[in-house]
Structure 1
């Protein structure tokens, strides 16, 4: 009750003597400090908006232009060609008229220069020929282009400075998209199937396709990105199935080390680091992310806006993504209870040691869960329609609404898990599989899957992250996760006992336990959602392993792209596992464009399938097959052709000439027009039985892998996209390590994650043997550290 009284700023009662008013000094002080903090943030946002709005110029350049124009006037020259005289106000004195008119002209000239510079930068960033040039060889045109980009990019850009200069995503031509689509499905069909699909494509191109394309071009002229809003709505938010496993993904902790075995301490450091990142995000002090291929090309940062204070709200027809500007607390789940933990006190961010102290208070709290509270989170793990109905019926008013608002408006969600996870025990491989499943779905009720991300802290100090997918793609959250891991271990650190450094203010108010009033009807719905989620979770088969025989270093020595090499390995492993090929999804980003998200690289090609068939059939000598630079009637394929084909597909996807997003948007337009297309219907119904994604390292400078080579993350993973397919995530770390996360479903008799993992290992060795049969393995103990440093 004392805490409840402190939360009230004033109280008054009516007595015979009059009105008795009691003011709480502490509450009023907190209100004042919160207001000051809020206004400081508003001022920072306003300042950053001005700086970003005039980029690539700077606000101070306005004064330079004004002084320059005034100086020319004193030399009796008129740079405005009479315009200054025309805008003079006759009610002012002559000298005042001249100064005011000059300032107005200077301002207009300054704004015109900004518009011109931004337009030039936008045109420069629309040039993508540099990406298609041979590695290490830059044309003179590209050299001039790089110099111009550097000139027009200004100095010290903020996180969102480039947003107004990024080009819009172009709409490919129908003819090119259909041509590339037919090429991508040729290895998956026999002659009769391919002829049927070719006829459908030709009919679509000559009739309905032109009409749909016209509408799509109209949208591209009006919208910043003709794909992203429809992609978010129809691929993510309108899905009525559980988002757990089907949509959410996870990220792992360090693979070989745990900075501290104390659960509360690990939470203290990393939660503090999360809020340090949020502070940098609000101040736009995070350096704009650039393309991995070229450091002068910025990527769209729009997805960063919704990292914190964001939740996915269920609806009966479609969900919505809600984002709030700020919150000074997180919500923590432990043993069936929910706690609101404020991380700011008197306007300052709590120190890691203070956050550890508060987390330990939650761990030591003996109170039991309220009726219906323990498994409440299962509502977010089950089907969306029941959750939407339950939210409307039981959480739209009273104490339930207040507690749900606390969760949804929190900066992020935290789970204190009583289990121990990580690479440990007598069977480290099996423990990694268990670790992955725990992060992906947990117990199906101890995560809040609607939050933009939830952080899990295990009893042994290990941690991990689970993320909702609709608001952003994995690289955005991976950037935050890398920062948090690095700050936690290399900057904040721990004392000799494993606790966070610093002192504790023991007068901190205790975390607030959330209250609920769950009726029996809601408990029944929670049980039903939990049953659906549990069946889904139990069906997931996961296998995580690290491949250490070789890595990126040895692959590059063979003059092959590491990504193309691994994609070929996955094709080979799938063919050996299933004796056939399948439609393969490799995620590629389109953030070279404004509000860009992802595009699909169809990695299964005519060249790759011909190579694998010839290799498995023993038609020609394997090494000659891969190296002879021939693709002819005898099915001889070379690494050059395979490498170039994959690279070409990847580059086309990144530069807006992919296949699948264009076809998807054409399909959406057809639905709006209420017209059916047999071609689009067939295209959109094709299952992705092999879905793949790479997790790149983006902030290598944060990690000291020379002195601490064991501080490497295992990356992250996701569930299978198709019921009878595989989901494969891989992370290339340093020159000697590749981590794989493989998922499928137990219910499919034809898939097995461990079996597929064994096929991947063997394919890696076999393909390297083809490329370099005589090269000896490097001495890991002598070369692992410098080679890791070389990459990171």
Structure 2
């Protein structure tokens, strides 16, 4: 019997391919903020892009071309039960239809579920980078054809992952789905690929991407596009059911030996060990959302950032150095800048909230000062007035030129403030749509904290390492929700 997802997922995959065609034809509308166009270069890296491991340094390779630039790969790779298949998504110059996609996926599914599992070469991509680079070199030395197969995966439009699991999910609790999307079966994820589209056997889907080529908003954009199209068409294909005589998917069969199979098993064990150490809590706060915060003239993103500062302060008894993403796409090829949310104003407000002798009015005023500071920082960082990327550039130049590391970067306070990738809170707003994201903590005693904002709710995704005795993702989310209520109560005191 075919699983439910078969009758959902060919539609979803087809809309992903429509998005690819928009990019190929340069028809994707330019993103704008208050009528100011944003740089769209990152979208070139969404399809047919892959990180390639090197012994000392990785490289990002993109095979994508627009139609005006020339030909671009038009096949996808499908990973199922440790095996790899590819098929072309164009036939006689046009996209294959959802019924044709269903035929291809059904062929792969039946083959994998009626025959032994494959070697699971994909698990190697979850290994430590140098170990994966060495394993890859060895794999190629076994048989030159292995390089051809690796390149076929590297230049594929995307990797479509067929997972056997059925994650539980409700509109209030996305924890299990997020965990399985982030840390699922490593033999059906190509960790280096810019885009892994993951289907589960109960019709739920998610996606994984490599952060190096692009930022989260690219993934948010395509996810929302697919989501909207499915809603518009009630998840159904309304065109022809006819399936043309298109070539069946081709399996990529690697030449392997005992060493490679041992490397795969070691990679799987290492990945699953680390995955089992990750605590993930993804919940919806449904008492209010963007609508009420805007009504109180509070910026919703700043609202969540300050609630997180208060939650962390209450849980750990100290301020938490915090990274928040600011996008710099106002600039040519702009990516991100760091907003350091743990300001003096935020800390003073947190202290006042824990001091019974501080009046509600004073707490409110300190909170509004913290809001003003954060809003200004976000604006400054988005418009090129941040400093973290500049400092990163200086430290990298010193390394590349073989110069001694400048004194600033050796100062213990630089690390304690989050510098050098040491932020205890690694956070980002995923936007104002129906798309949620997830990230692991930057440091062992830290948290990953991503969220999205809707009219009537905030959805928060928090991660922590179980092996760290002092962190607790679930507790931090609960305290953040508690802080939301406390902050709203401050805005309801008389004489505002």
TM-score for the superposition, normalised by structure 1: 0.58
Partner of 1:567: 305
- Correspondence 1:353-752 to 2 at 5 A: 353-365=99-111, 366-369=113-116, 373-395=118-140, 397-423=143-169, 432-491=174-233, 493-494=235-236, 502-505=240-243, 507-627=245-365, 637-639=366-368, 641-671=369-399, 672-682=401-411, 683=414, 684-685=419-420, 687-697=422-432, 713-733=434-454, 735-752=455-472
CA-CA distance at 1:659 after TM superposition: 2.0
CA-CA distance at 1:402 after TM superposition: 2.6
Out of 764, 769, 781, the residue aligned to residue 489 of structure 2 is 769
Partner of 2:73: 327
Task: Render the CA deviation track for 1:431-461: whole Å, top value 9, x for unaligned.
Answer: x212111111202222111110100111111
Give the direction of change, closer, same or farther, for the CA distance of 1:624–1:378 in structure 2 (3 Å limit).
Answer: same
The CA distance in 2 between the partners of 1:347 and 1:714, in whole Å, is 32
CA-CA distance at 1:527 after TM superposition: 1.8
Q: Give the RMSD, CA atoms, in angstroms.
A: 2.0
The CA distance in 1 between the partners of 2:59 and 2:358, in whole Å, is 56
The CA distance in 1 between the partners of 2:351 and 2:181, in whole Å, is 38
SS at match of 1:609: helix
CA-CA distance at 1:492 after TM superposition: 7.3
CA-CA distance at 1:673 after TM superposition: 4.9
> Is the CA contact 1:422–1:462 (under 8 Å) kept in the aligned structure 2?
no
> Is the CA contact 2:77–2:84 (under 8 Å) kept in the aligned structure 1?
yes
The CA distance in 1 between the partners of 2:420 and 2:450, in whole Å, is 23
Which ranges of structure 2 fall in alignment gaps of 5 or more residues? Answer: 65-71
The CA distance in 1 between the partners of 2:432 and 2:464, in whole Å, is 25
The CA distance in 2 between the partners of 1:299 and 1:571, in whole Å, is 30
The CA distance in 1 between the partners of 2:329 and 2:172, in whole Å, is 36
Task: Render the CA deviation track for 1:578-600: whole Å, top value 9, x for unaligned.
Answer: 11012111111111111111101
Moved more, 468-477 or 437-446: 437-446
> Is the CA contact 2:5–2:203 (under 8 Å) kept in the aligned structure 1?
yes
Task: Render the CA deviation track for 1:606-664: whole Å, top value 9, x for unaligned.
Answer: 1111111011012321234214xxxxxxxxx251x222101111111011111211111
The CA distance in 1 between the partners of 2:234 and 2:294, in whole Å, is 36
> Is the CA contact 2:285–2:481 (under 8 Å) kept in the aligned structure 1?
yes
> Is the CA contact 1:303–1:476 (under 8 Å) kept in the aligned structure 2?
yes
Q: Which has the higher helix share?
A: 1
> Is the CA contact 2:139–2:256 (under 8 Å) kept in the aligned structure 1?
yes
The CA distance in 2 between the partners of 1:457 and 1:299, in whole Å, is 32
TM-score for the superposition, normalised by structure 2: 0.92
Which ranges of structure 1 fall in alignment gaps of 5 or more residues? Answer: 1-259, 628-636, 699-712, 775-792
CA-CA distance at 1:488 after TM superposition: 2.8
> Is the CA contact 1:381–1:445 (under 8 Å) kept in the aligned structure 2?
no
Give the direction of change, closer, same or farther, for the CA distance of 1:531–1:268 in structure 2 (3 Å limit).
Answer: same
> Is the CA contact 1:584–1:688 (under 8 Å) kept in the aligned structure 2?
yes
SS at match of 1:744: strand
CA-CA distance at 1:767 after TM superposition: 1.0
> Is the CA contact 1:573–1:760 (under 8 Å) kept in the aligned structure 2?
yes
CA-CA distance at 1:422 after TM superposition: 4.3
> Is the CA contact 1:337–1:368 (under 8 Å) kept in the aligned structure 2?
no
CA-CA distance at 1:731 after TM superposition: 0.2
The CA distance in 1 between the partners of 2:193 and 2:439, in whole Å, is 17
Higher-Rg structure is 1
> Is the CA contact 1:744–1:752 (under 8 Å) kept in the aligned structure 2?
yes
Task: Render the CA deviation track for 1:546-601: whole Å, top value 9, x for unaligned.
Answer: 01001111111211111111111000000011110121111111111111111010
Task: Render the CA deviation track for 1:339-363: whole Å, top value 9, x for unaligned.
Answer: 1122122222111121112111211
SS at match of 2:193: coil
Partner of 2:67: none
> Is the CA contact 1:688–1:722 (under 8 Å) kept in the aligned structure 2?
yes
Task: Render the CA deviation track for 1:46-81: whole Å, top value 9, x for unaligned.
Answer: xxxxxxxxxxxxxxxxxxxxxxxxxxxxxxxxxxxx
Partner of 2:474: 754
The CA distance in 2 between the partners of 1:493 and 1:444, in whole Å, is 29
> Is the CA contact 2:99–2:243 (under 8 Å) kept in the aligned structure 1?
no
